[in-house]
Protein backbone atom coordinates (compact mmCIF):
# COMPACT_ATOMS: atom_id res chain seq x y z
CA UNK A 1 0.00 0.00 0.00
CA UNK A 2 1.37 3.40 -0.89
CA UNK A 3 1.69 6.06 1.76
CA UNK A 4 -0.91 8.85 1.86
CA UNK A 5 0.17 11.95 0.00
CA UNK A 6 0.84 13.89 3.20
CA UNK A 7 3.20 11.17 4.40
CA UNK A 8 5.02 10.87 1.09
CA UNK A 9 5.42 14.63 0.89
CA UNK A 10 6.80 14.96 4.38
CA UNK A 11 9.21 12.06 4.01
CA UNK A 12 10.67 13.82 1.01
CA UNK A 13 10.81 17.11 2.86
CA UNK A 14 12.60 15.79 5.91
CA UNK A 15 14.94 13.55 3.94
CA UNK A 16 16.14 16.50 1.90
CA UNK A 17 15.04 14.92 -1.40
CA UNK A 18 12.56 17.74 -1.91
CA UNK A 19 12.79 20.62 0.55
CA UNK A 20 9.54 22.47 1.02
CA UNK A 21 9.93 26.26 0.84
CA UNK A 22 9.02 26.77 4.48
CA UNK A 23 11.78 24.41 5.60
CA UNK A 24 14.41 25.54 3.13
CA UNK A 25 13.90 29.19 3.96
CA UNK A 26 13.86 28.78 7.75
CA UNK A 27 17.31 29.37 9.18
CA UNK A 28 16.15 30.85 12.48
CA UNK A 29 13.30 30.36 14.89
CA UNK A 30 9.99 32.09 14.46
CA UNK A 31 9.55 35.48 16.08
CA UNK A 32 7.98 35.44 19.56
CA UNK A 33 4.19 35.24 19.27
CA UNK A 34 2.47 38.48 20.17
CA UNK A 35 -0.54 36.75 21.71
CA UNK A 36 -0.99 33.05 22.48
CA UNK A 37 1.61 30.36 21.88
CA UNK A 38 0.17 27.82 19.46
CA UNK A 39 1.43 24.47 20.66
CA UNK A 40 1.31 20.84 19.49
CA UNK A 41 2.33 17.56 21.08
CA UNK A 42 4.11 14.49 19.79
CA UNK A 43 2.39 11.96 22.01
CA UNK A 44 -1.01 12.04 23.68
CA UNK A 45 -0.73 10.04 26.91
CA UNK A 46 1.83 8.73 29.40
CA UNK A 47 4.62 11.28 29.81
CA UNK A 48 3.10 13.26 26.95
CA UNK A 49 -0.05 13.52 29.03
CA UNK A 50 1.93 15.00 31.89
CA UNK A 51 3.68 17.48 29.61
CA UNK A 52 0.40 18.48 27.96
CA UNK A 53 -1.27 18.86 31.33
CA UNK A 54 1.45 21.23 32.54
CA UNK A 55 1.92 23.23 29.34
CA UNK A 56 -1.79 23.89 28.85
CA UNK A 57 -2.04 25.49 32.30
CA UNK A 58 -0.05 28.44 30.99
CA UNK A 59 -2.55 31.25 30.39
CA UNK A 60 -1.04 32.13 27.01
CA UNK A 61 -1.02 28.68 25.40
CA UNK A 62 -3.43 27.32 22.83
CA UNK A 63 -3.29 23.55 22.35
CA UNK A 64 -3.65 23.13 18.59
CA UNK A 65 -2.87 19.52 17.77
CA UNK A 66 -1.68 16.14 19.04
CA UNK A 67 -0.01 13.31 17.11
CA UNK A 68 -0.59 9.91 18.70
CA UNK A 69 -0.01 6.50 17.10
CA UNK A 70 -2.10 4.47 19.58
CA UNK A 71 -5.88 4.70 18.88
CA UNK A 72 -6.78 4.32 22.58
CA UNK A 73 -4.50 7.18 23.49
CA UNK A 74 -5.87 9.25 20.62
CA UNK A 75 -9.31 8.93 22.17
CA UNK A 76 -7.95 9.96 25.55
CA UNK A 77 -6.27 13.01 24.04
CA UNK A 78 -9.44 13.98 22.16
CA UNK A 79 -11.51 13.81 25.34
CA UNK A 80 -8.95 15.82 27.27
CA UNK A 81 -8.20 18.47 24.66
CA UNK A 82 -11.51 19.33 23.08
CA UNK A 83 -10.92 21.57 20.10
CA UNK A 84 -7.43 20.27 19.38
CA UNK A 85 -6.89 18.33 16.17
CA UNK A 86 -5.79 14.74 16.71
CA UNK A 87 -3.53 13.00 14.18
CA UNK A 88 -2.29 9.43 14.02
CA UNK A 89 0.82 10.41 12.03
CA UNK A 90 3.19 13.08 13.29
CA UNK A 91 4.43 13.92 9.80
CA UNK A 92 0.92 14.71 8.68
CA UNK A 93 0.47 16.94 11.73
CA UNK A 94 3.56 18.93 10.83
CA UNK A 95 2.51 19.14 7.18
CA UNK A 96 -0.94 20.50 8.00
CA UNK A 97 -0.34 22.50 11.18
CA UNK A 98 3.37 23.36 11.20
CA UNK A 99 3.15 26.76 9.54
CA UNK A 100 0.73 27.97 12.20
CA UNK A 101 2.53 26.53 15.24
CA UNK A 102 5.02 28.18 17.58
CA UNK A 103 6.18 25.25 19.70
CA UNK A 104 5.94 21.51 20.30
CA UNK A 105 6.71 18.94 22.96
CA UNK A 106 8.35 15.63 22.01
CA UNK A 107 7.15 13.09 24.56
CA UNK A 108 7.38 9.70 22.86
CA UNK A 109 9.62 6.60 23.10
CA UNK A 110 13.32 7.47 22.92
CA UNK A 111 13.98 6.25 19.38
CA UNK A 112 11.61 8.88 17.90
CA UNK A 113 12.86 11.93 19.81
CA UNK A 114 15.46 13.08 17.30
CA UNK A 115 13.34 12.65 14.15
CA UNK A 116 10.45 14.60 15.62
CA UNK A 117 12.57 17.27 17.30
CA UNK A 118 14.74 17.97 14.28
CA UNK A 119 11.78 18.03 11.88
CA UNK A 120 10.03 20.55 14.12
CA UNK A 121 13.12 22.74 14.50
CA UNK A 122 13.64 22.78 10.74
CA UNK A 123 10.25 24.47 10.57
CA UNK A 124 11.38 27.09 13.08
CA UNK A 125 9.41 25.59 15.96
CA UNK A 126 10.62 25.76 19.55
CA UNK A 127 11.02 22.37 21.22
CA UNK A 128 10.36 20.97 24.68
CA UNK A 129 12.01 17.54 24.39
CA UNK A 130 11.60 14.72 26.85
CA UNK A 131 14.63 13.01 28.36
CA UNK A 132 16.80 11.51 27.09
CA UNK A 133 17.10 14.13 24.39
CA UNK A 134 17.58 11.39 21.77
CA UNK A 135 18.40 7.70 21.46
CA UNK A 136 21.97 8.08 20.14
CA UNK A 137 24.90 10.37 20.91
CA UNK A 138 25.16 11.71 17.36
CA UNK A 139 21.47 12.64 17.34
CA UNK A 140 21.89 14.55 20.59
CA UNK A 141 24.87 16.50 19.25
CA UNK A 142 23.01 17.44 16.04
CA UNK A 143 19.90 18.58 17.92
CA UNK A 144 22.05 20.67 20.23
CA UNK A 145 24.00 22.25 17.38
CA UNK A 146 20.95 22.94 15.24
CA UNK A 147 19.05 24.58 18.09
CA UNK A 148 21.99 26.85 18.89
CA UNK A 149 22.73 27.76 15.27
CA UNK A 150 19.10 28.64 14.58
CA UNK A 151 18.21 30.32 17.88
CA UNK A 152 15.56 27.75 18.78
CA UNK A 153 14.17 27.96 22.33
CA UNK A 154 14.57 24.54 23.93
CA UNK A 155 14.03 22.76 27.22
CA UNK A 156 14.58 19.10 28.13
CA UNK A 157 11.98 17.33 30.25
CA UNK A 158 14.02 16.95 33.43
CA UNK A 159 11.46 18.85 35.47
CA UNK A 160 13.16 18.33 38.84
CA UNK A 161 15.97 20.51 37.46
CA UNK A 162 13.64 23.44 38.25
CA UNK A 163 12.56 22.15 41.68
CA UNK A 164 13.82 23.78 44.88
CA UNK A 165 15.50 20.54 45.99
CA UNK A 166 17.86 20.26 43.03
CA UNK A 167 18.40 24.03 42.71
CA UNK A 168 19.38 24.17 46.38
CA UNK A 169 21.85 21.29 45.97
CA UNK A 170 23.54 23.13 43.11
CA UNK A 171 23.84 26.30 45.17
CA UNK A 172 25.43 24.46 48.09
CA UNK A 173 28.27 23.25 45.89
CA UNK A 174 28.69 26.56 44.09
CA UNK A 175 28.84 28.36 47.45
CA UNK A 176 31.66 26.03 48.55
CA UNK A 177 29.74 24.65 51.54
CA UNK A 178 31.24 21.15 51.16
CA UNK A 179 34.52 22.46 49.72
CA UNK A 180 36.19 21.29 46.53
CA UNK A 181 34.65 18.16 45.08
CA UNK A 182 36.66 14.92 45.25
CA UNK A 183 34.19 12.41 43.78
CA UNK A 184 30.49 11.78 43.20
CA UNK A 185 28.25 8.69 43.08
CA UNK A 186 24.75 8.49 41.53
CA UNK A 187 22.37 5.56 41.75
CA UNK A 188 18.92 4.23 40.81
CA UNK A 189 17.28 1.01 41.94
CA UNK A 190 15.27 0.73 38.71
CA UNK A 191 15.97 -2.26 36.45
CA UNK A 192 15.04 -1.47 32.86
CA UNK A 193 16.68 -4.55 31.38
CA UNK A 194 15.86 -8.06 30.24
CA UNK A 195 18.10 -11.12 30.34
CA UNK A 196 15.72 -13.16 28.17
CA UNK A 197 16.06 -13.55 24.40
CA UNK A 198 13.58 -11.84 22.12
CA UNK A 199 10.37 -13.91 21.79
CA UNK A 200 10.02 -15.69 18.47
CA UNK A 201 6.25 -15.18 18.27
CA UNK A 202 4.51 -12.58 16.09
CA UNK A 203 1.17 -11.05 17.13
CA UNK A 204 -1.47 -9.27 15.04
CA UNK A 205 -1.08 -5.50 15.03
CA UNK A 206 -4.06 -3.93 16.86
CA UNK A 207 -6.62 -2.26 14.64
CA UNK A 208 -5.82 1.41 14.06
CA UNK A 209 -2.30 1.12 15.48
CA UNK A 210 0.33 2.32 13.00
CA UNK A 211 3.15 -0.06 13.91
CA UNK A 212 5.37 1.07 11.04
CA UNK A 213 5.18 4.67 12.28
CA UNK A 214 5.86 3.52 15.85
CA UNK A 215 9.09 1.91 14.61
CA UNK A 216 9.98 5.03 12.60
CA UNK A 217 13.72 5.33 11.89
CA UNK A 218 14.70 2.34 14.05
CA UNK A 219 15.24 -1.21 12.73
CA UNK A 220 11.95 -2.86 11.87
CA UNK A 221 10.70 -5.70 14.04
CA UNK A 222 7.45 -7.64 14.20
CA UNK A 223 4.77 -6.56 16.65
CA UNK A 224 4.82 -8.60 19.86
CA UNK A 225 2.02 -7.84 22.29
CA UNK A 226 3.32 -6.29 25.52
CA UNK A 227 6.97 -6.57 24.49
CA UNK A 228 7.45 -3.01 23.25
CA UNK A 229 4.32 -0.95 23.69
CA UNK A 230 3.43 0.44 26.09
CA UNK A 231 6.42 1.07 28.34
CA UNK A 232 8.51 -2.04 27.78
CA UNK A 233 10.46 -0.40 24.93
CA UNK A 234 12.82 1.06 27.54
CA UNK A 235 14.40 -2.39 27.90
CA UNK A 236 15.10 -2.82 24.17
CA UNK A 237 18.41 -1.68 22.67
CA UNK A 238 16.95 -0.27 19.45
CA UNK A 239 14.10 1.69 21.03
CA UNK A 240 14.95 2.58 24.62
CA UNK A 241 18.06 3.51 26.58
CA UNK A 242 17.84 1.36 29.70
CA UNK A 243 17.78 2.48 33.31
CA UNK A 244 20.46 5.12 32.76
CA UNK A 245 18.47 6.60 29.85
CA UNK A 246 15.29 6.65 31.89
CA UNK A 247 16.70 7.92 35.18
CA UNK A 248 20.26 9.06 34.45
CA UNK A 249 19.25 12.41 32.98
CA UNK A 250 17.22 13.09 36.13
CA UNK A 251 19.61 11.87 38.78
CA UNK A 252 22.85 13.04 37.19
CA UNK A 253 21.33 16.47 36.62
CA UNK A 254 22.02 18.21 39.97
CA UNK A 255 25.50 16.68 40.10
CA UNK A 256 26.21 17.62 36.49
CA UNK A 257 25.07 21.20 37.12
CA UNK A 258 26.68 21.59 40.53
CA UNK A 259 30.04 20.16 39.50
CA UNK A 260 30.17 22.09 36.22
CA UNK A 261 30.59 18.90 34.19
CA UNK A 262 30.74 18.81 30.39
CA UNK A 263 31.95 15.78 28.40
CA UNK A 264 33.79 12.88 30.06
CA UNK A 265 37.40 12.07 29.22
CA UNK A 266 36.95 8.33 29.68
CA UNK A 267 34.55 5.74 31.03
CA UNK A 268 34.60 2.12 32.10
CA UNK A 269 31.73 -0.31 32.72
CA UNK A 270 32.09 -2.93 35.44
CA UNK A 271 28.58 -4.36 35.13
CA UNK A 272 27.08 -7.09 32.92
CA UNK A 273 26.90 -6.77 29.14
CA UNK A 274 23.51 -6.39 27.37
CA UNK A 275 22.33 -9.35 25.32
CA UNK A 276 21.58 -9.13 21.59
CA UNK A 277 18.31 -7.22 21.98
CA UNK A 278 18.00 -5.93 25.53
CA UNK A 279 19.75 -3.72 28.04
CA UNK A 280 21.35 -5.42 31.02
CA UNK A 281 20.87 -5.03 34.77
CA UNK A 282 22.98 -3.71 37.61
CA UNK A 283 25.24 -1.33 35.71
CA UNK A 284 28.35 0.19 37.31
CA UNK A 285 29.82 2.87 35.08
CA UNK A 286 32.92 4.86 36.07
CA UNK A 287 33.29 8.24 34.37
CA UNK A 288 36.31 10.53 34.49
CA UNK A 289 35.68 14.22 33.81
CA UNK A 290 38.15 17.06 33.46
CA UNK A 291 38.56 19.04 36.66
CA UNK A 292 37.37 22.64 37.00
CA UNK A 293 36.88 25.37 39.57
CA UNK A 294 34.66 23.13 41.71
CA UNK A 295 36.96 20.10 41.91
CA UNK A 296 40.00 19.39 44.06
CA UNK A 297 42.02 17.58 41.39
CA UNK A 298 42.73 17.83 37.67
CA UNK A 299 40.22 15.08 37.01
CA UNK A 300 36.92 14.28 38.69
CA UNK A 301 35.55 10.71 39.06
CA UNK A 302 31.78 10.20 38.91
CA UNK A 303 30.21 6.74 39.12
CA UNK A 304 26.73 5.49 38.17
CA UNK A 305 25.03 2.43 39.72
CA UNK A 306 21.64 0.92 38.93
CA UNK A 307 19.52 -2.07 39.93
CA UNK A 308 21.14 -3.93 42.81
CA UNK A 309 24.53 -2.26 42.32
CA UNK A 310 25.37 0.39 44.89
CA UNK A 311 28.25 2.62 46.01
CA UNK A 312 31.01 0.99 48.09
CA UNK A 313 30.79 0.81 51.87
CA UNK A 314 33.30 3.64 52.33
CA UNK A 315 30.82 5.98 50.59
CA UNK A 316 27.67 4.63 52.26
CA UNK A 317 29.35 4.99 55.66
CA UNK A 318 29.67 8.74 55.06
CA UNK A 319 25.90 8.92 55.62
CA UNK A 320 26.49 8.07 59.29
CA UNK A 321 24.02 5.21 59.48
CA UNK A 322 21.18 6.93 57.66
CA UNK A 323 19.44 4.72 55.13
CA UNK A 324 20.53 5.33 51.57
CA UNK A 325 17.58 6.36 49.38
CA UNK A 326 16.76 4.09 46.45
CA UNK A 327 17.70 6.86 44.01
CA UNK A 328 19.96 9.86 44.32
CA UNK A 329 23.56 11.05 44.54
CA UNK A 330 26.34 11.35 47.11
CA UNK A 331 28.82 14.15 46.49
CA UNK A 332 32.08 14.08 48.44
CA UNK A 333 33.93 17.34 49.07
CA UNK A 334 36.99 18.41 51.02
CA UNK A 335 34.82 19.99 53.76
CA UNK A 336 31.88 17.61 53.85
CA UNK A 337 29.48 15.31 52.06
CA UNK A 338 26.13 16.04 50.44
CA UNK A 339 23.35 13.51 49.88
CA UNK A 340 20.87 14.46 47.15
CA UNK A 341 17.81 12.19 47.38
CA UNK A 342 15.65 11.79 44.29
CA UNK A 343 13.54 13.81 45.03
CA UNK A 344 14.31 15.48 48.36
CA UNK A 345 16.18 18.30 50.02
CA UNK A 346 19.94 17.79 50.19
CA UNK A 347 21.46 16.63 53.47
CA UNK A 348 24.93 17.54 54.74
CA UNK A 349 27.39 15.31 56.61
CA UNK A 350 28.96 15.06 59.14
CA UNK A 351 25.71 16.12 60.78
CA UNK A 352 27.52 17.46 63.84
CA UNK A 353 29.62 19.76 61.70
CA UNK A 354 26.66 21.16 59.78
CA UNK A 355 24.00 21.16 62.55
CA UNK A 356 24.07 24.96 62.76
CA UNK A 357 24.33 25.55 59.02
CA UNK A 358 21.34 27.50 57.75
CA UNK A 359 20.56 26.10 54.31
CA UNK A 360 19.47 28.76 51.83
CA UNK A 361 16.54 27.34 49.90
CA UNK A 362 16.48 28.31 46.23
CA UNK A 363 13.02 29.15 44.91
CA UNK A 364 11.49 26.64 42.52
CA UNK A 365 10.58 27.47 38.92
CA UNK A 366 7.81 26.08 36.73
CA UNK A 367 9.78 23.93 34.29
CA UNK A 368 7.14 23.95 31.54
CA UNK A 369 6.08 27.58 31.96
CA UNK A 370 9.71 28.69 31.83
CA UNK A 371 9.84 27.22 28.33
CA UNK A 372 6.64 28.95 27.20
CA UNK A 373 7.70 32.27 28.73
CA UNK A 374 10.98 32.07 26.82
CA UNK A 375 9.11 31.26 23.59
CA UNK A 376 7.04 34.42 24.18
CA UNK A 377 10.23 36.43 24.66
CA UNK A 378 9.29 37.21 28.26
CA UNK A 379 11.97 35.16 30.04
CA UNK A 380 15.61 34.11 29.65
CA UNK A 381 16.65 30.93 27.84
CA UNK A 382 15.46 27.97 29.98
CA UNK A 383 18.18 26.52 32.20
CA UNK A 384 17.69 22.96 30.87
CA UNK A 385 18.04 24.12 27.26
CA UNK A 386 19.85 21.84 24.83
CA UNK A 387 23.18 23.63 25.38
CA UNK A 388 23.08 22.21 28.90
CA UNK A 389 20.97 19.10 28.52
CA UNK A 390 22.77 17.98 25.35
CA UNK A 391 26.12 17.26 27.06
CA UNK A 392 24.23 15.78 30.02
CA UNK A 393 22.37 13.37 27.73
CA UNK A 394 25.50 12.49 25.77
CA UNK A 395 27.19 11.53 29.04
CA UNK A 396 24.30 9.26 29.96
CA UNK A 397 24.17 7.61 26.52
CA UNK A 398 27.93 7.06 26.51
CA UNK A 399 27.38 4.96 29.61
CA UNK A 400 25.07 2.76 27.59
CA UNK A 401 27.77 2.23 24.99
CA UNK A 402 30.28 1.41 27.72
CA UNK A 403 28.10 -1.44 29.03
CA UNK A 404 28.65 -3.24 25.72
CA UNK A 405 32.41 -3.32 26.39
CA UNK A 406 32.72 -4.52 30.01
CA UNK A 407 35.96 -3.79 31.86
CA UNK A 408 37.42 -1.83 28.94
CA UNK A 409 38.66 1.73 29.34
CA UNK A 410 36.98 3.84 26.65
CA UNK A 411 38.76 7.10 25.82
CA UNK A 412 36.24 9.62 24.52
CA UNK A 413 37.05 12.25 21.89
CA UNK A 414 34.09 14.59 22.31
CA UNK A 415 35.14 16.90 19.48
CA UNK A 416 35.14 14.13 16.89
CA UNK A 417 32.41 11.97 18.47
CA UNK A 418 34.64 8.91 18.55
CA UNK A 419 36.43 6.55 20.89
CA UNK A 420 40.20 6.31 20.65
CA UNK A 421 41.35 2.94 19.29
CA UNK A 422 37.87 1.40 19.48
CA UNK A 423 36.03 1.50 16.16
CA UNK A 424 33.33 -0.89 17.37
CA UNK A 425 32.36 1.50 20.14
CA UNK A 426 32.49 4.43 17.73
CA UNK A 427 30.08 2.60 15.42
CA UNK A 428 27.45 2.80 18.18
CA UNK A 429 27.59 6.61 18.33
CA UNK A 430 25.38 6.99 15.25
CA UNK A 431 22.78 4.65 13.80
CA UNK A 432 21.63 4.25 10.23
CA UNK A 433 18.03 5.33 9.71
CA UNK A 434 15.51 2.95 8.19
CA UNK A 435 14.80 3.67 4.52
CA UNK A 436 11.97 6.13 4.08
CA UNK A 437 12.48 7.60 7.58
CA UNK A 438 15.67 9.58 6.98
CA UNK A 439 15.72 13.10 8.40
CA UNK A 440 17.90 15.81 6.93
CA UNK A 441 20.85 16.41 9.25
CA UNK A 442 20.43 13.17 11.19
CA UNK A 443 20.40 9.71 9.64
- What CATH number is associated with residue 66? 3.40.50.720
For the chain, the C-alpha Rg in angstroms (whole number) is: 22
| Residues facing 374 on adjacent strands | none
Whether 282 and 397 share a structural domain? yes
Quick check: is 383 in a domain? Answer: no
Quote the mean pLDDT of the chain.
93
Whether 166 and 37 share a structural domain? no
Quick check: is 430 in a domain? Answer: no
| Mean predicted confidence (pLDDT) in 280-298 | 98
Tens-place pLDDT, residues 309-324: 999 999 999 999 999 9
| Mean predicted confidence (pLDDT) in 241-246 | 96
Residue 406 has a pLDDT of 97
pLDDT surpassing 70 at residue 26: no
Whether 405 and 263 share a structural domain? yes
Residue 14 has a pLDDT of 42
Which one is predicted more confidently, 21 or 324?
324
pLDDT surpassing 60 at residue 259: yes
Quick check: is 254 in a domain? Answer: yes
| Residue 96 lies in domain | 5-159+372-378
The CA distance from 427 to 138, in Å, is 11
pTM above 0.85, yes or no: yes
pLDDT band at 363; cut points 50, 70, 90: very high
Whether 271 and 416 share a structural domain? yes
Whether 354 and 413 share a structural domain? yes
3-state secondary structure of 191: coil
| Mean predicted confidence (pLDDT) in 351-360 | 97
Tens-place pLDDT, residues 48-69: 999 999 999 999 999 999 999 9
**Contact status, residue 104 vs residue 125, Cβ threshold 8 Å:** yes
Closest by Cα among 407, 405, 430, 408 to 417: 430
Residue 33 has a pLDDT of 73
Quick check: is 100 in a domain? Answer: yes
Tell me how many domains the chain contains: 2
Among 324, 346, 378, residue at a domain's last position: 378
**Contact status, residue 80 vs residue 55, Cβ threshold 8 Å:** no
Amino acid sequence: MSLPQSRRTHIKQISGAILAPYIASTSWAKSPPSERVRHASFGGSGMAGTDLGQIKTHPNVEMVAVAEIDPNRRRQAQARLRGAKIYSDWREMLDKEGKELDSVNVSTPDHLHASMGMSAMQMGLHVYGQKPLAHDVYEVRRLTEYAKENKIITQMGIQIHSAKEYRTAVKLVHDGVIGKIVEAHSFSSKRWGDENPKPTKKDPIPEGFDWDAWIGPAPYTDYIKGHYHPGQWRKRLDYGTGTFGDMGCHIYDPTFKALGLTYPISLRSEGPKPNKNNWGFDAVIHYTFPGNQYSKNKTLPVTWYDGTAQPPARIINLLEGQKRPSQGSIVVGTKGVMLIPHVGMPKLFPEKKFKDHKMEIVEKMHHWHSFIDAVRGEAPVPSANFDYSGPLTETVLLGGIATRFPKQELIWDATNLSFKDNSKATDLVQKKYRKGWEVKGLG
